[in-house]
A and B are shown apart, each in its own frame.
Chain A
Amino acid sequence: MYRYDEFDAALVTQRVAQFRDQVDRRMKGTLSEDEFRPLRLMNGLYLQLHAYMLRVAIPYGTLSSVQMRMLAHIARRYDHGYGHFTTRQNIQYNWPKLVEVPDLLDELATVEMHAIQTSGNCIRNVTSDPYAGAVADEVEDPRIWGEIIRQWSTFHPEFSFLPRKFKIAVTGSAEDRAAIRVHDIGLRIHRNEAGEVGFEVMVGGGQGRTPMIAKTIRAFLPKAHLLSYLEAILRVYNLMGRRDNKYKARIKILVHEMGAEAFADQVEAEWAEIKDGPVDLPASEVARIENYFAPPALDTASNGSADYALKLKSDAAFAAWVGSNVLGHVQPGYAIANISLKPVGGVPGDATAEQMDVVADLAARYSHDEIRVTYEQNLVLPHVRREDLYAVWQALGEAKLDTANIGLLGDMIVCPGLDYCSLANARSIPVSQQISERFSDPERQRKIGKLDIKISGCINACGHHHVGHIGILGVDKRGKEHYQITLGGKANQDAAVGAIVGPAFAETDIADAVETVVDTYLDLRADGEEFIETLGRVGIAPFKETLYATH
């Protein structure tokens, strides 16, 4: 993992000291709320429906055990004993007191963490593949470039007041596990025909009220030029992006209105001016950062064990968990263990301080001290020996973290919705709970197979409903919560925006509606077909028919 150098450390501690002074001046009345608000937002502190909310950055979703223990400590000491992992691999605390936030940030800084640039019209925390460094289909570890982007974008003076917020995601695999095509910039590391490693650069993706899939503006960018190319994109956006209407200010609108080709031409012209300048890092600096992400010292002799095979045969619950939550690792004998934060009837993405401590302990003991946060609001132990999986599973079970539903219906992305968010029109969490309780039988979920349900409480789409196989959007209809269903969205390498199936359903009817969609799929599916494949084959008409015939 990356470790702060003296510049990183100084920068973060100085920022905490500045914010402490700003809070002090706010409490003394020498700063008005209008003056203070942009300052607190630059430090990730929102004022939400019930209280202040602090969003802490988890760069490219990677945590050490020490960092996770600190997140648990902060949940206990400064919040209500839990935290909420988000769709941008961050963590949010829902109840911090303004006057205590400087102390909180001081403690975070001791483990090389902060809340800088988790809000505001700047380059936000860079996200990545949660399985980085552990999967066989990876060309290179994308976190190296995630870290380089983090350093370049932190306090970048030219990009501190962009037309709108700006999100970058990086993956090193052909299979997209970072939803890069619904980001302002998506970067995919790949090899060209000559065998050289570089980036496919995609621009202008996003969700919100105007969902767009990113367009490729450069099929291959040599790695060494990444920062200058990003700088060129940001410059074109900064200059030409709209500032008169916040709903048209994201780069996706600019790319859409200009056309991807014309936008790419502008970027290339700007890049030609700066590509051989000082922005790109020397190879030695890239190598220095690369060293932090060297693979852990895995036991190459490990190849599972007879005991593990026996447990798989003798313990059906363990086998079910392995079947849904455990994936192959690049190193034979190892596995990637996903930890679902979606128990039946729970709050998706929430983890208590005690659960965070358990995950930290397991990472220290069994996963080379590494934890990942996924954009699907789960956690990952990326490097677990197969022979240790049973012990890991048992410990997770004691902490109620052993739900076997990764990729299945119960593994829903859900925004905080009207229960917490001041922008929401309807609640998301109770809807997800109704659905998870309706489909609580794990065997039923396994028979249904892979199915992504994503729920947002408003059009801002923090719950990614546009790219859910089944998307659910909460709307306010004359003071009552209603829920619109979209079908056919995808967040992966074949990203697509779902189609609205028809009029919205009342809160009392939405679980029935989801069950109707699922039953229709089960009636129509061919052997071995996943939900999204059946939908692709038959279209939405049969679903519309069954949904509204009985409605």
Chain B
Amino acid sequence: MFENVITANRLDDGTVIYLTRESLWSPTLADAWVAEDEDEAVVMMAAGENAENKGIVVGAYLIAAEVLDDTVVAVRLREGIRADGPTRRTDSVSVDDNSEQAHVPLR
């Protein structure tokens, strides 16, 4: 099944973000707009490129995702780590951004 979302980094601070159905950018993968076919993905990518051109995001790209138990999760480990934060980290407490999860168990 075709399920893709668009991710990027916010230009000013580098935070990992996802395009939402409202054409906003959220640091939470669960908020992402999930394209269910290639036509929808093309529309999303155009929104990503537009955000790049406006200097809101950098490096927008499509990733494979799936909807499990009504939430969006990344298919690949790399994107799962991008979404959840490092699985091991020295700053065990989030600093100033609730998108940063303190600790994620080994998958």
Contacts and interface: CB of A to CB of B under 8 A. Distances in A.
Interface in B4-22: 9, 11-16
A99 B76 CA distance: 30
A418 B58 contact: no
A347 interface: yes
Contacts of B14: 47, 50-52, 95-98
Nearest to A52: B14
Interface string A85-98: 00000000001111
A352 B95 CA distance: 14
B54 A427 contact: no
Contacts of A81: 90-91, 95
A50 B82 contact: yes
B86 A420 contact: yes
Contacts of A49: 16, 78, 81-82
A153 to B, nearest CB: 29
A503 interface: no
B76 A479 contact: yes
A268 B54 CA distance: 53
B68 interface: no
A82 B55 contact: no
Contact of A50 (B12, B16, B52, B76): B16
B88 A47 contact: no
Query: Quick one: which of B77, B82, B88, B91 has the most chain A CB within 10 A?
Result: B88
A107 to B, nearest CB: 18
Given A33-B59, A49-B82, A433 B88 contact: yes
B87 interface: yes
A479 B9 CA distance: 23
A357 B5 CA distance: 43
A26 B52 CA distance: 11
A418 B78 contact: yes
B1 interface: no
B86 A419 contact: yes
B77 A98 contact: no
A2 to B, nearest CB: 30
A82 B90 contact: yes
B12 A97 contact: yes
A347 B89 contact: yes
Nearest to B55: A29
B88 A418 contact: no
B55 A419 contact: no
A29 B54 CA distance: 7
B43 interface: no
B85 A430 contact: no
A430 B81 contact: no
Contacts of A365: none
A507 B106 CA distance: 10
Contact of B81 (A47, A352, A418): A418
Interface in B45-102: 52, 54-55, 58-59, 76-78, 81-82, 85-91, 95
A103 to B, nearest CB: 13
Interface string A408-449: 000000000011100000010110010000000000000000
Interface residues of A, number: 32
Interface in A309-367: 346-347, 350, 352
A80 interface: yes
Nearest to A45: B14
A271 B13 CA distance: 47
B15 A51 contact: yes
A3 B81 CA distance: 42
A346 B92 CA distance: 11
A352 B93 CA distance: 13
A136 B17 CA distance: 54
Query: Quick one: which of B54, B78, B87, B95 has the most chain A CB within 10 A?
Result: B78
B11 A98 contact: yes
A104 to B, nearest CB: 13
A481 interface: yes
A249 B58 CA distance: 28
Interface string A150-192: 0000000000000000000000000000000000000000000
A430 B90 CA distance: 12
A47 B89 contact: no
A333 B82 CA distance: 51
Contacts of B86: 50, 419-420, 429
A347 B87 CA distance: 11
B12 A98 contact: yes
A47 B82 CA distance: 13
A419 B89 contact: yes
Interface string A278-295: 000000000000000000
A490 B89 CA distance: 29
A391 interface: no
Contacts of A33: 52, 58-59
A99 B12 CA distance: 6
A240 interface: no
Nearest to A346: B90
Contacts of A347: 88-90
A430 B106 contact: yes
Query: Quick one: which of B15, B54, B77, B85 has the most chain A CB within 10 A?
Result: B77
A47 B77 contact: no
B83 to A, nearest CB: 10
A430 B88 contact: yes
A81 B95 CA distance: 9
B90 to A, nearest CB: 4
A51 B99 CA distance: 12
Contacts of B13: 51-52, 97-99
Sort A-B residue pairs by CB-CB distance and give the 6 closest, nearest first: A51-B14, A419-B86, A97-B13, A80-B91, A52-B14, A350-B90
9 contacts: A26-B11, A27-B12, A49-B81, A80-B91, A80-B95, A98-B13, A350-B90, A419-B81, A429-B86
Given A47-B14, A96-B14, 8 more contacts: A47-B9, A49-B81, A50-B85, A52-B14, A97-B14, A347-B88, A420-B86, A427-B88
